[in-house]
Amino acid sequence: MTKTSQARTAALAIVVTALTLASGCSDTASSEDNASTIVRSTTNIAGAGVVGNDRDTVGLCPAPAPLDPTGIDGDTRPVGHSEGITDVPADPMRVVVLDAASLDATCALGVWERVVGAAPLDPDFRGDGDQELYLGTGITQIPSVGAVGSPDIDAIAGLSPDLIIGADTLGPDMYEALGDIAPTVFTSTDQGWKGAFLQSAAALGRGGTAFDELARFTADAEQVGRDVNAQQTQASVVRFLPDSFSTDAPSTFASSVLAEIGVQRPTTQVDATATGSAEDVAAAEGDIVYVRFDGDAGEDYGTSVMTGEAWKDLGSAKDGRIFVVNDTVWSGSGLVAARTILADVTNSLNAYVS
């Protein structure tokens, strides 16, 4: 991590420890804000509270899930994926993962310590070349094999993996090159984050656990929705780029998690992505606004917009209902990231900042 990133992360962590979040709303339609039950923080960033940067990642990845007993033929099992069917080790021990979703899956299934190499985030994509910090510090020690989207074939070969997992966006030529090193599975991006998780889990020999964990996630998301009365709130989701901002379309990862919780979206964000600028911020409005930044440049631009008069005139800004969330998580994919969003929503949907 760069010194700039370390300083920014530390600053956000300090901010969030001062942010006390409110209790959930009543399930009755007639419920009103009760000043005695809503604690308003005096600490913020450009008028926004910070959510989630104080989360404890110690012990986040569980013990290894049990190995699936079915489908094993000798020392291998067949796994279907975007490029066909591949025989992979029944219980892989030296895994290389080439995208954020696959790395998330190794944590969710408790086998991250078997990962001998991983592709960190491309700095041009999310502004941080480190591994996914939301998965814990241990995962940051995994050796890099090149950025997401451009893996280093020689580095991967030097690790002698017995399984490689990536996404189909790498393309057939890369699949062939990786397949010459070790059995390779490419997850299908058109199957959504849950489909990708199941494919990664099957390759890791833990498909049964993955099905169970997704069912548990769905139940937990529905419970969170009831607890925070999610259907009564329209949440705007905004990502600041270096010179503009965009809202999340329904097809994005974060939007799909919010939908499972039952959180509503503003009409401008129901069908597609909307864009805006410092002078035109109407697309960002919602009962609550979740903001994230595309790296340092996105944070600089976002801060300039959020301290401008047009942004300050938003009803959500006046009400203290704007919160900064982790870009890696909300722009990511995977079960651990999805559960992290559940926690963020639980701790913020009915909160206020002043």
pLDDT tens digits, 204-213: 999 999 999 9
Q: How many CB atoms lie within 10 A of CB 87?
A: 13
pTM here is 0.86
Q: What percent of the chain has pLDDT over 70?
A: 84
Residue 6 has pLDDT above 90, yes or no: no
**One-letter identity of residue 247:** T
217, 254 Cβ separation under 8 angstroms: no
What angle is formed at CA 61 by the lines to CA 226 and CA 200, rounded to 5 degrees?
90
Is there a common fold for 3-57+229-346 and 76-205?
Answer: yes
111 CB-near residues (< 8 Å, 6+ apart): 64, 65, 95, 204, 206
Residue 103 has pLDDT above 60, yes or no: yes
Residue 34 has pLDDT above 60, yes or no: no
pLDDT at 28: 36
Cα–Cα distance, 328 to 208 (Å, whole number): 27
The CATH label, of 1.10.10.10, 3.40.50.2300, 3.40.109.10, 3.40.50.1980, for the domain at 76-205 is 3.40.50.1980
Residue with the larger pLDDT of the pair 163 and 58: 163
Residue with the larger pLDDT of the pair 142 and 29: 142
Comparing CA positions, the residue from 258, 197, 248, 266 lying closest to residue 222 is 258
Cα–Cα distance, 337 to 106 (Å, whole number): 12
Tokens of 148: 């997401």
How large is the C-alpha radius of gyration of the chain? Answer: 21
Band of residue 274 on the pLDDT scale cut at 50, 70, 90: confident
Residue 336 has pLDDT above 70, yes or no: yes
Residue 7 has pLDDT above 70, yes or no: no
Q: How many CB atoms lie within 10 A of CB 140?
A: 14
Tokens of 348: 């913020």
130 CB-near residues (< 8 Å, 6+ apart): 1, 5, 120, 121, 140
What are 292's strand-pairing partners?
Answer: 239
Q: How many CB atoms lie within 10 A of CB 331?
A: 20
pLDDT in tens, 107-163: 999 999 999 999 987 665 554 555 667 888 888 889 999 989 999 999 999 999 999
Residue 5 has pLDDT above 80, yes or no: no
Task: Name the residue ranges covered by the structural domains of the chain.
Answer: 3-57+229-346, 76-205
234, 287 Cβ separation under 8 angstroms: yes
Cα–Cα distance, 32 to 352 (Å, whole number): 14
Please compute the mean of the pLDDT values over residues 254-276 and round it to a whole number: 93
Please compute the mean of the pLDDT values over residues 316-337 and round it to a whole number: 94
- Superfamily assignment of 3-57+229-346 in CATH? Nitrogenase molybdenum iron protein domain (3.40.50.1980)
Mean pLDDT of the chain: 86
Band of residue 43 on the pLDDT scale cut at 50, 70, 90: low
Tokens of 59: 């012990």
